[in-house]
């Protein structure tokens, strides 16, 4: 155990009985039983990269493809109407999930990366210029860094990066000091994918607004683990990926305040995003369609709606509680193993445990854990500045979902001990 993990351990001396019936929930996820890496039961702890899909979502996709598929917003024929209704129903499900005011504030995107690029192009390129400043933080995923760097290259804007401390917490005072009369945009992750830190986004949003700065929250690692209410947060933009929320790849959404979306430029040009086209002048469609050029991944968005229905029926509060207990137990178990260093020890964390096992390279840790059936991600997690901040080339990362169990944490801990023995 090191000093920084001690307070966490005190909180989690025994695993409390979760309110979730995890065994029943697990039965919904066929992949958890269909795959046996190296002949072992699968212990899937790579949920931050992508989570698994329950049968209910798989069934919804099958029903769509077997009974409902046609292109949307285009035909008067029955199938096109059914598909359009299903797609727009999914938009309503996302609106309700985020508690946005109106369906038109929800833009379907292929995920978080596309949503951030949409805002960079649609807002950033329209309204930022040379010398304007953008505030981000040191703990962002590359997809909330690189688009802003590209915008700076294109416009002459300047990127300002708020520091994090040794526990992986944002230094809010330093973040606030970056804001000034030149600040024109801010973008912050809700939950760090490499550290697990939950940012105090309500406070960060309020700071940005004191300077009249619109702010985007990257919710990729938040929506699978915490209830989110965009009206309550008062953020200007919020985005997430469906595939981290038990939904299909290629699904996701951007929430934006209607007044901002209306002022923004379209992201991509093409079909469906126009009202009329002549060679002299094209007028764009109303929001959200202005931002949804071309045929979208219709099935994926309908699957996302089903995934939202699934996790909402379980309840994000109960999910958060179970994962909180799981993370606490895992932190305690790993901190007991001499030589294990946990990277990211903020008091407020969600579902992510990044660690280092003595001198063993994380890639070797990941490979050997896989031999025990344990799937973790190793590498820089698309957050290289975080690795630089903690002076490590990479970490091994266990990331949890509501279908993970305390027994699986024990398998992880035993597998890590085995790695250590092998390298002793």
Residues in touch with ligand 7TS (CB under 6 A):
48-49, 111-113, 141, 143-144, 189, 193, 218, 220-221, 241, 377, 381-382
Q: Which is nearer to ligand 7TS, 83 or 194 (CB)?
A: 194
**Catalytic positions, written as ranges:** 382
- Token duo for residue 174: 């330093």
Shortest spacing between CB 141 and ligand 7TS, in angstroms: 4
SS3 (DSSP) at 124: helix
Shortest spacing between CB 397 and ligand 7TS, in angstroms: 8
Shortest spacing between CB 144 and ligand 7TS, in angstroms: 6
By residue count, the chain amounts to 424
Q: Which is nearer to ligand 7TS, 218 or 408 (CB)?
A: 218
The answer to whether 75 and 207 are in contact (CB under 8 A) is no
- Packing angle, helices 362-371 and 406-423, rounded to 10: 120
Residue number of the CB atom closest to ligand 7TS: 193
In sequence order, the 6+-apart residues with CB closer than 8 A to the CB of 265 are 121, 122, 125, 126
Q: Which is nearer to ligand 7TS, 20 or 139 (CB)?
A: 139
Shortest spacing between CB 401 and ligand 7TS, in angstroms: 13
Distances in Å between the Cα of 378 and the Cα atoms of 45, 77, 114, 196, 397 are: 11, 49, 24, 15, 6
Q: Which is nearer to ligand 7TS, 305 or 379 (CB)?
A: 379
Other C-beta atoms lying within 10 Å of the C-beta of residue 62: 12
Shortest spacing between CB 300 and ligand 7TS, in angstroms: 12
Q: Which is nearer to ligand 7TS, 144 or 345 (CB)?
A: 144
Give alpha helix (H) positions in 99-184.
112-119, 125-127, 146-155, 172-177
Q: Which is nearer to ligand 7TS, 322 or 377 (CB)?
A: 377
Order across the sheet with 377-379: list the strands. 340-343, 352-357, 395-399, 377-379
Residue 141 backbone zone (phi > 0: left; psi -120 to 50: alpha; other: beta): beta
In sequence order, the 6+-apart residues with CB closer than 8 A to the CB of 188 are 135, 136, 137, 140, 144, 170, 199, 201, 204, 215, 216, 217, 218
SS3 (DSSP) at 315: coil
């Amino acid at each position: 155990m090191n000093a920084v993990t001690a307070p966490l351990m005190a909180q989690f001396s025994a695993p409390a009985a979760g309110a979730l019936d995890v065994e029943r929930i697990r039965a919904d996820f066929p992949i958890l039983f269909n795959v046996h890496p190296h002949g072992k039961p699968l212990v899937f702890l790579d949920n931050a990269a992508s989570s698994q899909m329950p049968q209910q979502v798989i069934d919804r996709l099958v029903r769509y493809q077997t009974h409902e598929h046609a292109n949307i917003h285009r035909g008067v024929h029955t199938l096109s109407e059914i598909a359009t209704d299903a797609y727009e129903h999914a938009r309503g499900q996302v609106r309700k999930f985020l508690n946005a005011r109106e369906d038109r504030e929800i833009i379907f995107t292929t995920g978080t990366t596309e949503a951030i690029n949409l805002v960079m192009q649609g807002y950033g390129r329209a309204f930022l210029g040379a010398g304007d400043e953008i505030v981000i933080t040191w703990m962002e995923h590359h997809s909330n860094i690189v688009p802003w760097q590209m915008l700076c290259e294109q416009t002459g804007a300047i990127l300002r990066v708020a520091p994090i401390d040794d526990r992986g917490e944002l230094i809010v005072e330093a973040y606030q000091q970056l804001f000034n009369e030149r600040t024109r945009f801010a973008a912050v992750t809700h939950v760090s994918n490499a550290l697990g830190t939950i940012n105090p986004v309500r406070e960060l949003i309020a700071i940005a607004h004191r300077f009249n700065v619109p702010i985007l929250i990257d919710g990729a690692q938040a929506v699978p683990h915490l209830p989110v209410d965009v009206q309550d947060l008062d953020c200007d933009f919020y985005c997430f990926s469906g595939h981290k929320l038990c939904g299909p790849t290629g699904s996701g959404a951007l929430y934006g305040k209607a007044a901002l979306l209306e002022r923004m430029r379209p992201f991509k040009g093409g079909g469906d995003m126009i009202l009329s086209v002549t060679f002299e002048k094209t007028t764009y469609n109303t929001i959200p369609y202005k931002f949804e050029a071309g045929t979208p991944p219709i099935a994926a968005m309908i699957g996302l709606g089903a995934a939202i229905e699934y996790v909402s029926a379980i309840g994000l509060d109960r999910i958060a509680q179970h994962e909180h207990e799981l993370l606490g137990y895992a932190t305690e178990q790993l901190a007991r193993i001499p030589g294990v260093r946990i990277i990211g020890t903020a008091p407020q964390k969600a579902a992510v445990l990044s660690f280092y096992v003595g001198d063993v390279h994380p890639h070797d840790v990941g490979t050997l854990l896989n031999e025990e059936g344990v799937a973790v991600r190793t590498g820089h997690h698309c957050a290289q500045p975080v690795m630089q901040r903690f002076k490590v080339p990479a970490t091994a990362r266990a990331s949890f979902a509501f279908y993970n169990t305390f027994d699986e944490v024990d398998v992880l801990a035993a597998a890590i001990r085995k790695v250590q023995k092998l390298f002793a």
